């Protein structure tokens, strides 16, 4: 999968790798690159979970237990797209040693950190691709854990693994996994955005209405899923953007968009956060093009209202206990190899941006616990061998702002409207 449509912008391996939205040679960049960002916890933060394989997003459950997804390491099945004739990678003088083949399997899982700090696996055996695709969005509600699982079968033209590109429920006591909704099948059959067929579920949250809101990063869509019945509907298609970041596909209803043209770009919906203000916030990753990413609000009529624009790589969104909007940005220069460090920032209603944490290694999901501590997933993309993923817990005082630099020349912001308007 490409973060921006391949017929418009050709993206490098490092950029594809960062979100786990590509398969193939991206795994080489992960293994050969030097880790980026701060190797130890920033001031005001502590590491509360280590040794994780591509951790992505997190949620806080009853009793303060923290649950998070791990996309895993793939498996034993070597991936080859339908029509490929080359069974194994080939070395070349220009490229150096051949990359290891991409694989898939069932190494994705959900892990928990209890209030006493004990770390344990709640459920395992979930779909995983070695390029970082697997379990991502997570919600704790109704006595269950709901997980949005990504995939790549639609783009590759192969059969899906069980529960690939689906929302599942997990019994936290037994680890039993039950499929709730197969959203990948819908994307393959209907292709709502009218571009490539490419399901890959990412962020998810639950609203006051009891419905799950799910981002399909590959399909560029937001779904609304009833966790009780499994029935779902297409809430909206994320509009394409001009290179300057302006939406070019306003629509009053979620209907298929025409094939992009004229240099327009497609931002990728990543994080989903339903705020206490009722807004369904959607993080947008703009990949190689500054100004295409940001945060938009998915509205009931299928349209989107931008609240933060001109960002580059938003993958996590949360409202602080006092109602201020924060985002994690997985990299401030996603095109570099290795990708530049990322950050956590707060967007003020006067249009300014407050640095919270800078110099982070591929941060991803963010959330707040009952005590107002900020939780941040870091090292969400392995930049070397071994399980290097971590979860940070940062004291509420961190929200006063940080002196760490978060500017790169690629990432500026404007707040288009007060968040609750």
- In this predicted model, what pLDDT tens digit does every residue of 125-156 receive, in sequence order? 999 999 899 999 999 999 999 999 999 999 99
183 three-class SS: helix
Q: Is the pLDDT of residue 199 over 60?
A: yes
With beta carbons less than 8 A apart as the criterion, state whether 228 and 297 touch. no
> How many whole angstroms separate alpha carbon 14 and alpha carbon 87?
23
382 or 196, which is more confident? 196
Which residue has 């490539």 as its token pair? 196
- Terminal Cα distance for the chain, rounded: 35
Q: Is the pLDDT of residue 18 over 70?
A: no
Pick the closest to residue 311 from 260, 261, 270 (CA basis).
270
Alpha carbon 290 to chain centroid distance?
18
Partners of 167 in beta bridges:
148, 181
Partners of 230 in beta bridges:
none
User: DSSP secondary-structure letter at 396?
Assistant: G
Show me where the domains of the chain are located.
13-34+43-79+100-415
With beta carbons less than 8 A apart as the criterion, state whether 207 and 213 touch. yes
State the chain's mean pLDDT as an integer: 82
With beta carbons less than 8 A apart as the criterion, state whether 339 and 333 touch. yes
Name every residue whose Cβ is closer than 8 Å to that of residue 20 and which is 6 or more positions away in sequence. 54, 56, 71, 129, 131, 132, 133, 134, 136, 150, 381
Alpha carbon 106 to chain centroid distance?
19
Lookup: tokens for 27: 């795994």
Query: Does 13-34+43-79+100-415 carry CATH code 2.120.10.30?
Result: yes
Tens of pLDDT along 77-97? 999 866 565 544 544 555 566
Pick the closest to residue 339 from 385, 379, 291 (CA basis).
379
Q: Give the CB-side neighbour count of residue 83, counting CA atoms within 13 A.
A: 3
């Amino acid at each position: 999968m490409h973060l921006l449509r391949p017929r418009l912008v050709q993206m490098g391996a490092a950029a594809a790798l960062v979100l786990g939205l590509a398969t193939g040679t991206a795994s080489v960049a992960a293994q050969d690159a030097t880790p980026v960002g701060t190797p130890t916890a920033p001031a005001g933060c502590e590491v509360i979970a280590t040794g994780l394989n591509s951790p992505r997003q997190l949620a806080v459950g009853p009793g303060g237990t923290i649950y998070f997804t791990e996309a895993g390491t793939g498996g034993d099945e070597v991936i080859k797209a339908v029509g490929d004739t080359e069974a194994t990678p080939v070395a070349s003088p220009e490229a150096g040693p051949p990359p290891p083949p991409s694989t898939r399997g069932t190494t994705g899982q959900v892990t928990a950190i209890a209030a006493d700090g004990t770390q344990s696996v709640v459920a395992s055996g979930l779909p995983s691709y070695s390029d970082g695709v697997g379990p991502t969005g997570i919600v704790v509600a109704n006595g269950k854990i709901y997980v949005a699982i990504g995939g790549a079968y639609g783009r590759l033209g192969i059969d899906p693994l069980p529960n690939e590109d689906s929302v599942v429920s997990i019994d936290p006591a037994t680890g039993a996994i039950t499929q709730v909704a197969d959203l990948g099948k819908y994307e393959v059959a209907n292709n709502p955005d009218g571009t490539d067929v490419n399901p890959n579920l990412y962020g998810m949250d639950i609203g006051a209405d009891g419905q799950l809101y799910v981002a399909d990063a590959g399909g560029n869509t937001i779904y609304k899923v009833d966790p009780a019945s499994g029935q779902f509907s297409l809430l909206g298609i994320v509009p394409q953007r001009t290179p300057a970041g302006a939406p070019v596909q306003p629509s009053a209803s979620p209907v298929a968009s025409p094939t992009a043209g004229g240099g327009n770009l497609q931002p990728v919906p990543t994080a989903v956060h339903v705020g206490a203000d009722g807004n369904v916030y959607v993080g947008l990753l703009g990949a190689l093009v500054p100004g295409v990413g940001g945060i938009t609000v998915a509205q009931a009529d299928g349209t989107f209202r931008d609240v933060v624009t001109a960002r580059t790589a938003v993958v996590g969104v949360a409202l602080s206990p006092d109602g201020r909007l924060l985002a994690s940005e997985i990299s401030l220069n996603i095109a570099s190899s290795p990708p530049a460090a990322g950050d956590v920032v707060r967007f003020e209603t006067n249009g300014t941006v407050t640095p919270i944490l800078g110099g982070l290694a591929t941060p991803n999901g963010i959330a707040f616990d009952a005590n107002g501590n900020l939780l941040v997933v870091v090292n969400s993309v392995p930049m070397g061998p071994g399980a290097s993923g971590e979860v940070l817990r940062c004291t509420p005082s961190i929200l006063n702002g940080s002196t760490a630099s978060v500017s790169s020349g690629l990432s500026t912001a404007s707040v288009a409207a007060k968040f609750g308007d």
